[in-house]
Amino acid sequence: MPLYSITVNGKLKNVEVSSDTPLLWVLRDHLELVGTKFGCGIAQCGACTVHLEGNAVRSCSLTMDAVDGKSITTIEGLSENGTHPVQEAWKELDVPQCGYCQAGQIMTASAFLDKNPKPSESEIKAAMHGNICRCAAYTRIFKAVELAATKIS
């Protein structure tokens, strides 16, 4: 099996897995980073969202072949102690219900605000549209992204 080197949350990691292994399962099963969640496996729900070179991507549908040598940030590495403005906003508004999708929501929101720190209402809705929250905590997710934007800018 091929050997892959990826940088995860600033640390270089080597893993030996079959080339079609999705990044998601390397993170969860090999690197013990279980904050990134499995939801659908086909890039439709956003629960597995991580940052690849700063862009929000669906780790369930990116094979190790596609990410070899690249830099990845997961929810565990977004900030030192949950102090990223998006995480702070999530705490302030008490967003989660079951909480399962929230890491993916936060990773989508943080990459989005990084590129668009002063978004309009419809830009926020469009950016977050790819992330399903089955508990439907959508109103708070929306407000938290709005709040995070004020913290960033």
Partner 1 sequence: MSTPSITFSRRSFIRTSSLASGGLLIGFNLFTACKPKVTPPVDISQLNFNDFNAFIKIADNGAVTIFAPNPEIGQGVKTSMPMLIAEELDVAWDNVYVQQGDLDTNNYTRQLAGGSQSIRFGWEPLRQTGATARQMLVNAAAIKWGVDPSECTTSEGVITNASGDTLGYGDVVKEAALLEVPENVTLKASKDFKIIGSDAKNVDLEKIITGKPLFGLDYKVDGMVYAAVLRPPAFGKVLESYDATEAKAMPGVIDVIKIGEKAKELTKEENSNWTVAMSTSDKVVVIAKTTWEALKAKEAIKANWVTETPLESTQDQDQKLLALLDGNKFNTLRKDGDIKKAFAQAEMVLERTYESPFLPHNCMEPMNFFANITDEKIHLVGPVQTPEFAANAVAGMLGRDVNEVHLEMTRMGGGFGRRLYGDFVYEVAEIANVIRKPVKVIFSREDDMTAGTYRPAIKYRIKAAVKDGQVTAYHLKEAAANGNMYGLIPNFFPAGAVENYQVDVANYNSSITTGAWRAPYTNFLAFAEQSFFDELAETMKVDRIQLRLDLLQKVKGTTDKRIEYSPERMENIIKVAVEKSGWGKKESGIYQGFAAYYCHNTHVAEVADVIIENGMPVVKKVTCVVDCGIVVNPLGAKNQIEGGIIDGIGHAMYGDLVFEDGAPQSQNYNNYRLIRMMEVPEIETHLIQNELSPTGLGEPTLPPAGAAVANALKAATGNRFTQQPFSKFPEMMQTKSAPKTIIG
Q: How many CA atoms lie within 13 A of 140 on its CB side?
A: 17
Tokens standing for residue 142: 């929306």
Least distance CB 122 / partner 1 (angstroms): 8
Residue nearer to partner 1 on the CB measure, 56 or 137: 137
The C-alpha atoms of residue 73 and residue 146 are separated, in whole angstroms, by 22
- From 48, 52, 131, 148, residue interacting with partner 1 (rule: CB under 8 A): 131
Report yes or no: 112 and 56 within 8 Å, Cβ to Cβ: yes
CA distance 149 to 153: 6
Under rule CB under 8 A, residue 49 binds partner 1: no
- For position 25 contacting partner 1 by CB under 8 A, the verdict is yes
Whether residue 114 contacts residue 54, with contact meaning beta carbons closer than 8 Å, is answered with: yes
Site string for partner 1, 72-101 (x = CB under 8 A): --xxx----xx----x--xx--x-xxxxxx
Binding site for partner 1 (CB under 8 A): 1, 17-18, 20-22, 25, 28-30, 32-42, 44-45, 47, 74-76, 81-82, 87, 90-91, 94, 96-103, 106, 125-126, 128-142
